[in-house]
Structure 1
Amino acid sequence: MRMKAMKKLLTALLFTPLMALANGPEVNLDKAPVSTEPAALQNGAKLFVNYCLNCHGASYMRYNRLKEIGLSEDLIKDNLMFTADKIGEPMRIAMQRDEAKVWFGAAPPDLTVIARSRASEVGSGADWLYSYLRGFYRDDKRPTGWNNVVFENVGMPHVLYELQGEQVAHIEEKDDGHGGKHKEIHLELAKPGKMSKDEYDKATADLVSYLVWMGEPMAETRKAVGKGVLAFLGVLFVLSYLLKKNYWRDVH
């Protein structure tokens, strides 16, 4: 009995995701124009605090680290701290997890390392987030009234719809060439938002850039140190080779 139960569990774990992928829409992720410029990261931080931090926490990021992207302590306190009293506190939310499960069906995930956790074989975590934030469309069958091209049947509503506007989906089923079918979804802007398409794309790119930075604030420093180490090893190799050549000169 235990062996049969184990087989059923392994079958569900291995094949259910594959069946969902086969029947779900075909997703092509757009390349995210990730930036490390302070202005882009600051705008991304503003969007994150105003639109994401209501439901999603970033409990492994402290407000004072925002000084690393060029923000002063006063700017952080006056414009970005709505759920904390001290600048050294983590970016937590007031909503309780059990309440979130009732409202949304599942507790919204912490976003501190979301850009790293969403990396896959079809694209980086930044590409996934960039496509996701631009992939919402109206769907009256969903409890929130929204669906998403990248994350089908998502429980999250489109919190940026005032900026982007409302998109509608044109869904077409096509043969996948292996006896099955897949859905192709084409989005059309039915109701404009406060931003033009280019402005919204830039805003989401800044937000994604901030999420990428938040997942590893020391990334640029690490890369700079790595380049320095490689340069040092290169010089050391040349010196070692010359020393070896000089040492063995009389032998050869």
Structure 2
Amino acid sequence: MKKILLVLLAAAMLTPMLATAASSIKLYEAPIDIYDKESLRRGAKNFADHCYSCHAAEFMRFNRIAKDLEMSEDEVREIMIHTFNEKGAPTKIGDVMKVSMTDQYAKDTFGTVVPDLSLTARARGADWVYTYLRSFYVDPDSPTGFNNAVFPDVGMPHVLWSLQGLQEPVYKTVIHGGVEVEEISHMQSIQAGKLSRVEYDMFLADLTNFMVYIAEPVQVERHKLGWKVMLFLVFLFFFAYALKKEYWKDVH
């Protein structure tokens, strides 16, 4: 028992020492508005252009996107559908959002299976997705040449670097458990991208907004239904109260 306690104590003391490059990046608040159809349409294009080559969203169908975002099926085909099914036939408007990349190819290329993004915004949160996409930085020791302050040692390359530009972390020294460690304080730009900082943030806001939408496509309908249910319950309350008074009016 004493040996176990000593091992646990040693591990607790070593943990701060091993975390010399721990991240202290706070999550930015994502400007999400699922009622903004223009933002969602821009986000759909951003997703198709920069994410959909590798990441599937198999819980979503193209014709559902066309319906919810008030787009014609031809618009969705032009913007989003550039893939083929297992038989080599063009993807149909009623198909789910699969990708051609196989799991084995992903393992050979990235060292891991590329995740499906259908529920990422719901599982991680919109703020996490938004901040994650802002937090790639140059790392010569990484196989991809980039690392991420929110998700250290992530296998995903920074596919948006040409838009965002290149940045590097600025570290600060803090004390954890009496041990000095370095944490990322903030990022500084070392090469400008095609978009300005404001434009890139707007680009990510639209992309994150679309990912929030595909994580729960019925949420707008759910919100509308919620108001109807609340109004029904208010009406039911007054009806039940009047009925109660009628039943108990002769009881003393």
Q: TM-score range by the shorter chain?
A: 0.7 to 0.9
Offset of residue 71 of structure 1: 1.2
2:202 aligned with 1:196: no
Task: Give the Cα–Cα distance (whole angstroms) in 2 for the partners of residues 32 and 52 of structure 1.
Answer: 18
Residue by residue, what CA displacement relative to the aligned partner does 1:72-109 show, whole Å, maximum 9, x if unpaired? 11111122110142111111111111111111111110
Aligned partner of 2:28 in structure 1 is 30
CA distance in 2, matches of 1:27, 1:187: 10
Normalising by structure 1, we get a TM-score of: 0.86
Q: Using the alignment, how far apart are the partners of 1:228 and 1:157 within structure 2?
A: 46
Q: Are the equivalent residues in 2 in contact too, given 1:166–1:193 (CA < 8 A)?
A: yes
- Counterparts of 2:141 and 2:104, CA distance in 1: 25
Q: CA RMSD in A?
A: 2.0
* Aligned mates of 2:78, 2:230 — CA distance in 1: 42
Assess if the C-alpha contact under 8 Å between 1:59 and 1:92 holds in 2: yes
Q: Deviations over 1:200-251 (max 9, x none)?
A: 1011010000001001100111121122112211110111112212321222
Which residue in the other structure is 2:46 paired with? 47
| DSSP-derived class of the 1:190 partner | strand
Relative distance call for 1:182 and 1:245 in structure 2 (3 A) is: farther
Q: Give the aligned partner of residue 128 of structure 1.
A: 128
1:92 corresponds in structure 2 to: 98
TM-score (norm 2): 0.86
Amino acid in the other structure paired with 1:66: I
Separation in 2, partners of 1:162, 1:34: 24
The residue number in structure 1 matching 2:117 is 111
Could you tell me how far apart the structure 2 residues matched to 1:220 and 1:182 are? 44
Counterpart check, 1:246 vs 2:246: yes
Whole-angstrom CA distance in 2 between matches of 1:138 and 1:53 = 24
Identity %: 41
Alignment coverage as a number of residue pairs: 230
Contact kept? 1:149, 1:185, Cα under 8 Å = no
Gaps of 5+ in 2: 85-89
Whole-angstrom CA distance in 1 between matches of 2:178 and 2:239: 62
